[in-house]
Structure 1
Amino acid sequence: MKKVPRSQRKTTTATKRAAPKGNNGLKHRREKRRAAADVPGDSPRTYRPEELLSPPMLLSRFTERATDLMAALPAEARPTQAAVTAALRQAVLEAFRSREEYVARMVEVDLLAGAPNQSASSLRKGIRAALLDQGVRCADSPDGESELFVVVEGDGETFEVLRPAYVDQATGKLVLSGQLRRLPGADGGVHSAAEGEATRGEGV
């Protein structure tokens, strides 16, 4: 058999493989991060939900889920479908009503803060008024309400209010406890220890 010189041999070229397609999900996330990085830091953030909230839509989903859960209950312990639907409808409507009231108050506070020639004092009064309309009372002093405050720092026999306390008048619950600082002597903005003996980290 006659040998063919190496220089004259035909070489087979390997078929080029098509470059595998990248992960579309990863590519999409990278594009979103890149787009977010291009947005200036002082630009307002915009919330764009994939689906708008609506009472009928939520009620339908909750009812479907409740039906699946009730199917696992014994027949004698299973509530009627009408009772479940009525309870869910009331809960959904109350949730939407609460959200609407909250959003309305936030809008009022934003308008108040952006009003021209607005002083810090008038802004604070406006916010306090909005809180009172929602049933939230602000206690600026531990006088007669020492249980609403805690001592967080300092030593001495008098107290300085670092933060007021907030109480939900509709439920009587403490929303946020007030904070006090102990001071060694009487001065402006402090309260006498005779109004109640305080222990560090506990109610006054």
Structure 2
Amino acid sequence: MRESEPLEPGTVVRRLTAAIPDALSTMGEDLGDAGAGATVASAVRSAVLAEFRTRAQLAGRICEIDARLWEETGLSRTGRQAIDDHLTQLGLRRVTDPSAAPDLFVVTEGNGPVLELIRPAYRDEITGQTVLGGQLRRRESPPREQHDAASEEREQDTRSEAQ
């Protein structure tokens, strides 16, 4: 079950180290001297930080793969759904609407008043961190829409994602 507040390593470490003495005492164990308590707290801290690093690395790789496949027209609907399911299960959100979260996007090129999406942004909904920033291009006029089956499917996916 996910918490409403994003998780961050310091909070997790504080919660776990505060719970360790109670957990050990219910098991009939005693921390003994203060050095043993510090050793346990240090071990918990190291384990939590390692897990957060591992999660960040995995999230980054998954988001990079999704960003590369996002514009792929040859990817089947089943393949696209599988990737979307993995993102959801991992608590990762693909953002394709820059107006919904402008802080997740940077303009990387071009001139003009119209912004065109080059790459989606990705946010880790569990930690609240940006995993991969989105990229936008400035243009003088809106890009011509290609109305083939793949682009229509992407538009439908983007609309359903925003709901």
Where relative contact order (Cα < 8 A, 6+ residues apart) is larger, the structure is 2
TM class by shorter-chain length?
0.3 to 0.5
Q: TM-score, normalised by structure 1?
A: 0.39
Q: TM-score, normalised by structure 2?
A: 0.47
Flag the structure with higher helix content.
Answer: 2
Highest CA radius of gyration, 1 or 2? 1
